[in-house]
């Protein structure tokens, strides 16, 4: 059952004195039970999670939460996930963010289309928690980010990896 009243839930940044912080993930998913499941899995591993229940909210909150990665459903009310992806990639402030497309209906030309639009990778729902965590780690988004490491080195690797696909 879909949530008829869109809302957004943000968690405060978790930084500690050791030069590390929790990696931030924006979950864009209109089905509340799926969003909560993803939040549970990610928080259990140490990620900081923000949830947006539609594409418009995702575009509004992406600057506020400054996510290291975005888990983006394709089928959203209002602005589609594909349009959100294209808008994020067109904005140089978000061009290097890791974006993992999630959809229950990745068939036909859609996987190629989302990769062409700039997704780093795509997954078919339901996704096993271990697969999701592995994909985030593969693209340089482990649960803990070292503050001393230059962000561009991770982003350069991600951009290079996306260019190879």
What tens digit of pLDDT does each residue of 139-153 get?
999 998 876 554 433
In order of their start, the domains of the chain are 19-164 (3.40.50.2300)
Q: Return d(Cα 127, Cα 78) in angstroms, integer.
A: 24
Residues contacting residue 16 through CB under 8 Å, at least 6 positions apart: none
Strand partners, 51: 9, 27
Q: Return d(Cα 130, Cα 55) in angstroms, integer.
A: 26
Where would I find the H helices in 6-164?
32-45, 55-65, 81-90, 110-117, 129-138, 151-164
What is the pLDDT at residue 19? 77
Grade residue 156 by pLDDT with cuts at 50, 70 and 90. very low
Reported pTM: 0.78
């Amino acid at each position: 059952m879909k949530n008829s009243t869109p809302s957004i839930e943000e968690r405060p940044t978790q930084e500690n004195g050791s030069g590390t912080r929790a990696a931030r993930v924006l979950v864009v998913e209109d089905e509340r039970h799926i969003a909560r499941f993803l939040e549970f899995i990610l928080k259990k591993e140490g990620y900081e999670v923000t949830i947006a229940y539609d594409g418009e909210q995702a575009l509004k909150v992406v600057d506020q939460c400054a996510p290291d990665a975005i888990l983006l459903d394709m089928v959203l009310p209002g602005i589609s996930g594909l349009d959100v992806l294209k808008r994020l990639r067109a904005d140089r402030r978000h061009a290097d963010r890791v974006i993992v497309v999630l959809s229950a209906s990745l068939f036909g030309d859609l996987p190629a289309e989302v990769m062409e639009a700039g997704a780093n990778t795509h997954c078919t729902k339901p996704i096993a928690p271990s697969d999701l965590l592995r994909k985030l780690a593969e693209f340089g988004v482990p649960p803990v980010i070292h503050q001393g490491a230059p962000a561009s080195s991770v982003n350069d690797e991600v951009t290079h990896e996306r260019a190879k696909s």
